[in-house]
Amino acid sequence: MPQFLEFNCNLETFIEELQTKLTTNNETIQELLQEKQKTYKNFVKPLEMMEEELEHFFTPLSHLNAVNNSDATQKVYTDSLPIITEYSTKLSQNVEIYNAYKEILASEAERLNYEQKRVLALNIEHFEQSGAHLDDAVKKRLEEINLRKSELSNNFSQNLLDATNAYEYIITDIADVEGIPQSDLEAAKFEEDGVEKYKFTLQMPSYIAYMTYGKNAKIREALYKAYVTRAPENAKIIEETLALKDEMSKLLGFKNYVEYSLKSKMAEDEKSVLNFLESLLKDSKNQAKEELKTLQKMTPEPLRSFDTAYYSEILKKEQYAIDEEEYRPYFEQRSVVHGMFDFLNKLFGIQFSQVEEKLWHEKAFSYDISKDGKVKSRIYLDLEARDSKRGGAWMHNWQAHCINLEGEEQLASAFVVCNFPASSDTNPSLLRHDDVVTLFHEMGHAIHHLLSDVKENEVSGVNGVEWDAVEFPSQFLENFAYEPAVLKMFASHYETGEIISDAMIDKLVKSKNFLSAMGMLRQLEFSIFDMKIHNGVYTEQEVQDTLNSIREETALIKTPEYNKFQNGFAHIFAGGYAAGYYSYKWAEVLSADVFYSVIDEGIFHSKTAQKYADIILKNGGAKSMQELFFELMGRDPDTTKLLRLNGIL
């Protein structure tokens, strides 16, 4: 029976264990460097597996800090960051390892397979982007920068989480909650001093509920203002982060952080990315203006930022007779999960079987994934919102598929985390269709990692995939959450068992691109801001001025001056999307192109779907995505498919 790691993180001993492991690793590195005749087998592979095992140890702490955040996890995680960052920086700047990798690539070129060559090529590039070839003074400064950047990133996230958890809006007047869906009301309701009250917070399920259905504009504005002014202290973190990234990039020989970031991506340069984004803006803007005109008809008052979700829901009901609350009973969380598993079984021939094991929370659960009767990987799901969990949704890999030093197969594992409405003894977790789309999206990331057959862990699954291609598999899968044949597999009423009707599906499909051009402009605003803010050093005011100038082209409704969206833009200031947020749109081009090929072939009889599994999923990061895409489709990506997907062409 395949062995998967037991989820375990002893906070009391973690720092001591980490220091011991890093000491051992450093000793191992020195021993390996003594090898007179260094080869892939006796030098590269041991280093690869050493880093893999460190990932096995450290991941549970970072995961726990994100999903069960507490004073204890914060302290241990914060204390561990400088230790792991110093180690990682020194390793990435080790000129002896860098030179050894170059020598091995040259001397063993004819004997190495494409996976091994890719490992070496990516490592050499990484060493050069870390300054391994530079003098000691520069490397010392780069080490200081990396340490400070990791601290700032952690502080940014923690400030955001603390601000989100600190805010609540208490409603006592029943008239102010009229129209709120019953399940959301139940979640908000509490009793104090014999009086029934309702609490709304900045946690996504609660915030979205009032912004979408709450009739009181003053309350909507209060919630909106609280949301877009969270963590004002992050403004100074942004200033310092940008300055450090710029300094780092220049020390490494790049013009700015954008040039540094794009070195390891599919995109050629800043100009090509901005041209791509601005062409989408040009193609989408007229339709977005027409959508806004239609939306404005819902109210005689000029629309404001905190009105759009509320009046959009009214317009959506009017145009498509869609009531999200009508759909939620058909999307009970467990039913959706199991239906998604059935869909993946039909599309790719994989099976899911639940595992009984103790995890970090009672609402978390795990499944083994099998193909042709053989267990291939394990997935961990933690899907419900709670105060101790960071907002949003994500996939995080833990183990990578590979062949270890003993020649044995190591299977892959990964976490999928979401923030869906919480279930209770009396209320199931009923999802919005948007939640279903989110689940499919994160599952797309997960199977990209979990179905890899690559033997080298550093290019297995999502490892080694260019950042502007990493969203391709997730967006590809999420598109199926609108397909009637797929919805019929799991959308049944949790009380009656009634399958969702064709009429309901038809309305859902037709509403898919509701206000899609306005949504496109919003995403383009984020992407253009990300590219422009990372091409230099900016003060807090200059950051705001840059965003304001972009909004003149992208924001059709004037944004309030108090809106400090950037202070909550964790993707680029506390995540991996700095000078890479455009990746969502570029990956959407790849995903739309392949998706329509599968649809045109009938989904479950699609040869493209099988080729996708055999080429994209199996190969992970072992080849450039540009190469894999061409191998799959026989041509370059067709950008018009993205506009078709969004109903803009």
Amino acid at 353: S
Q: What is the pLDDT of residue 321?
A: 83
551 and 134 in contact (C-beta within 8 Å)?
no
How far is residue 613's CA from residue 603's CA, in Å, rounded to a whole number?
13
CB 465 within 8 A of CB 625: yes
Cα 413–Cα 442–Cα 585 angle in degrees, nearest 5: 130
Q: What pLDDT sits at residue 510? A: 87
Q: Are 284 and 522 in contact (CB under 8 A)?
A: no
**Burial environment of residue 408 by CB neighbours within 10 A (0 to 12, 13 to 18, 19 or more):** exposed
Any idea which residue has 């601005």 for tokens? Answer: 278
Beta strands in 453-536 (DSSP E): none
What token pair was written down for 178? Answer: 């009229």
**Is the separation of the CB atoms in 646 and 283 below 8 Å?**
no
Residues 6+ apart with CB under 8 A from 179: 213, 214, 215
Residue 153 contacts residue 84 (beta carbons within 8 Å): no
pLDDT-derived band at 33 (thresholds 50, 70, 90) equals very high
Catalytic residue among 259, 442, 456, 525: 442
pLDDT tens digits for range 514-542: 999 999 999 999 999 999 999 999 999 99
Using alpha carbons, select from 368, 289, 363 the residue that is nearest to residue 333.
Answer: 363
Helix axes 71-92, 114-130, angle to 10 degrees: 100
| Statement: residue 640 has pLDDT above 90 | no
Please give the share of the chain, as a percent, with pLDDT higher than 90. 94
Tokens of 544: 């705001």
CA distances from 406 to 46, 47, 296 (A): 10, 14, 66
Q: What is the pLDDT of residue 167?
A: 98
Q: What is the pLDDT of residues 419-458, one digit of tens each?
A: 999 999 989 999 999 999 999 999 999 999 999 999 999 9
Q: How far apart are CA 452 and CA 465, in angstroms?
A: 12
For residue 180 the two structure tokens come to 């709120």
Q: Is pLDDT of 2 > 60?
A: no
- What backbone phi and psi angles, to 5 degrees, belong to 393? -140, 145
Mean per-residue pLDDT over the chain, rounded: 96
pLDDT average, residue stretch 136-144: 94
Place of tokens 């990061």: 621
> Residue 391: pLDDT band by 50, 70, 90 thresholds?
confident
DSSP H helical segments within 34-94, as ranges? 45-67, 71-92
Tell me, yes or no, if 270 is annotated catalytic. no
Instruction: Give the separation between CA 339 and CA 440, rounded to whole angstroms.
Output: 11
Mean per-residue pLDDT for 341-358?
A: 97
Q: What is the pLDDT of residue 226?
A: 98
Locate 446 and state its tokens: 């997960």
Distance of CA 380 to the CA centre of its chain: 16
Alpha helices in 134-195 (DSSP H): 136-166, 182-188
Measured torsion, CA atoms of residues 398, 158, 526, 204, in degrees rounded to the nearest 10: 90
* Euclidean distance between CA atoms 626 and 588, whole angstroms: 14
pLDDT tier at 344, thresholds 50, 70, 90: very high
User: How confident is the model at residue 6, as a pLDDT?
Assistant: 94
Q: Is 416 helix (H, G, I), strand (E, B) or coil?
A: strand
Kindly give the pairing relationship between strand 412-420 and strand 374-384: parallel
Q: Which CATH number fits domain 329-512: 3.30.230.80, 1.25.40.10, 2.60.40.770, 1.10.1370.40?
A: 1.10.1370.40
Is the CB of residue 370 less than 8 Å from the CB of residue 354?
A: no
Among 309, 366, 208, 363, CA closest to 514: 309
CA distance 214 to 363: 29
Q: Does the structure show a pLDDT above 60 at 176? A: yes
What is residue 1's predicted lDDT score, i.e. its pLDDT? 43
Q: Sign of torsion, CA 54 60 64 66? A: positive
Q: In terms of DSSP H, where are the helices of 167-233?
A: 182-188, 204-213, 217-228
